[in-house]
Amino acid sequence: MIKPHGTDTLNPLYVQNENQRNELLKEAESLPSLVVSSAAAANAVMLGSGYFNPLKGYMNRADSLRVAENMRTTDGLFWPVPIVNVVNNADGIKGAKRIALRDPNVDGNPVLAIQTVETIEEFTNDDMKWMTEKIFRTTDPNHPGVAAFNSVGNVVISGPIQVLNFSYFGKEFPETFRTACQIREEMKKLGWEKVVAFQTRNPMHLAHEELCRMAHKAVNADGILIHMLLGRLKKGDIPADVRDACIRKMVELYFPPNTVLVTGYGFDMLYAGPREAVLHAVFRQNAGCTHLIVGRDHAGVGDYYGPFDAQAIFREEVPPGALQINIFEADHTAWSRKLGRVVMMRDVPDHTKEDFILLSGTKVREMLSRGEAPPPEFSRPEVAQILMQYYRSTQEQ
């Protein structure tokens, strides 16, 4: 199986030993504590899950700036975005060597992790503007990732962490949330060596389903990992439980048994386009995948990125050998009226726009809201039924 990023073995920061966890929870009662941002909590979950291997905790100012600049930490580790714990005010922990990090997303703000404090520094306004531009390729406050990144403060607390739980992800998504370690174990049981990963924050329509099949066949993979984001999204996105139900129904009905793993990870969407695509590749390598599908507007939002910028970054900015995972570059996929099947548009140069069944996201949402199923050439009827029920429930509230 493919090696993790940066090490020979995966080193998740979750404290496995129950007695040690209980001792740390007891220690946390006497420590200064912070209710961290949702982004910092998600970073802790990803560190605890092994997805952010080989990081040991949160980055300091120098590493954050260097990563934003050229995707390298100060000691040379390839990494695409800063992994930080940023707060508005750290007065309550000044002088503390260890602090308890409390979860903002769970009632009562239970302790999520314990952090050893190495530095407490401040990002200047220029630092924040510069990092925003580098990570998101825009400073537009209407960009949801830009807005979130600049809303949590500018005091950065660095240092290693010990993760004590996986926030709400394990409880709310017990059948779907999996750590990188668990995914590797499942792949090993299935005998998978070559695995294609598909990233999604949306329900999967027929074109997505067929894209997974195309990639699986093209690289001669043993299996497909459908890996959905379970964390915070922008307003208007489909909730994770609805997406989960749609994807599971599709896999149950339309894929052979033991060819697809449906799993999810605990992270908040960045909407950072190319940089987030590289982060997706890093943590899919850590989960044991050999290939990641990167398609049109991967991890994008609005019109902030070109349709294939997320593919170009791997060719133009990711140094050779920085990652072991391979990228499967996908074109826009749609149903061909001429051929009677889903195709990649680049593979059918004789087609015109009228030869495809193309529906915008807005059009599909309008249809579903009216109780109209999209055509079967666009969406599986069983998936459409789940989505129609969801939209009906939102109208009744």
pLDDT at 1 over 90: no
Give catalytic residues, as residue numbers.
Answer: 201-202
Per-residue pLDDT reduced to its tens digit, 280-290: 999 999 999 99
Would 127 be classed as within a structural domain?
yes
pLDDT at 236 over 90: no
114 domain-assigned: yes
pLDDT at 270: 96
Decide: 158 and 64 in contact? Cβ < 8 Å. Answer: no
At 100, the pLDDT band (50, 70, 90 cuts) reads: very high
| Selection from 199, 223, 113, 126 nearest residue 164 by Cα | 113
Residues 110-164 pLDDT 10s: 999 999 999 999 999 999 999 999 999 999 999 999 999 999 999 999 999 999 9
User: According to the model, what pLDDT value does residue 397 have?
Assistant: 58
Instruction: Give the span between the Cα atoms of 130 and 167, in whole angstroms.
Output: 31
Residue 262 maps to a domain: no
pLDDT tens by residue, 70-89: 999 999 999 999 999 999 99
Whichever domain contains 94, its CATH number is: 3.10.400.10
> Is residue 135 in a domain?
yes
Instruction: Express each pLDDT in 334-390 by its tens digit.
Output: 999 999 999 999 999 999 999 999 988 778 888 998 999 999 999 999 999 999 999
Percent of the chain predicted with pLDDT > 70: 99
Q: From its phi and psi, is residue 340 left (phi > 0), alpha (psi between -120 and 50) or beta?
A: left
Q: For residue 30, is it within any domain?
A: yes
- The reported pTM is 0.96
Closest CA to 342 of 222, 235, 215: 215
Nearest alpha-carbon partner for 345 in 317, 376, 308, 318: 308
Q: Which domain holds residue 93?
A: 18-170
Separation CA 183–CA 90 (nearest Å): 37
Examine residue 163 and state whether it is found in any structural domain, yes or no: yes
C-alpha–C-alpha distance, residues 280 and 265, integer Å: 11
Say if 361 falls within a structural domain. no
Residue 395 has pLDDT above 90, yes or no: no
Category of 109 on φ-ψ map: left (φ > 0), alpha (ψ -120 to 50) or beta: left
**How many domains does one find in the chain?**
1
**N residues, the chain:** 397
Q: What number is the average pLDDT over the span 30-43?
A: 97
Contact 46, 110 (CB under 8 A): no
